[in-house]
Amino acid sequence: MRATAAWIEGATETTALWDIGAVLSTVADGAGDELMDRVLFQLPPGYDLLFGRPRAGHRP
């Protein structure tokens, strides 16, 4: 988030998080559930929220 916030003029870490989530959730929609399950399986906990795909039992 910090790197993205620094790259976007006037962005904060919070707005960068929203921007990242908007892009990644669109990617997830295009990729479909099966591919996203495989991708998220390989990522550390918490990335599911960035992709707009919270896993059951996950609490932010």
Total of domains in the chain: 1
On whether residue 59 sits in a domain, the answer given is: no
On whether residue 57 sits in a domain, the answer given is: no
pLDDT digits (tens, 9 = 90+) for 12-58: 999 999 999 999 999 999 999 999 999 999 999 889 999 999 886 65
Task: Decide if pLDDT at 59 tops 60.
Answer: no
On whether residue 41 sits in a domain, the answer given is: yes
Task: Annotate the chain with DSSP letters as a single string.
Answer: -HHHHHHSTT--HHHHHHHHHHHHHHHHHHH-HHHHHHHHHHSPTTHHHHTT-PPTT---
On whether residue 55 sits in a domain, the answer given is: no
On whether residue 24 sits in a domain, the answer given is: yes
Task: Decide if pLDDT at 2 tops 80.
Answer: yes
Residue 37 structural domain: 2-50
Q: Which pLDDT value is given to residue 40?
A: 94
On whether residue 56 sits in a domain, the answer given is: no
Q: Which pLDDT value is given to residue 58?
A: 56
On whether residue 44 sits in a domain, the answer given is: yes
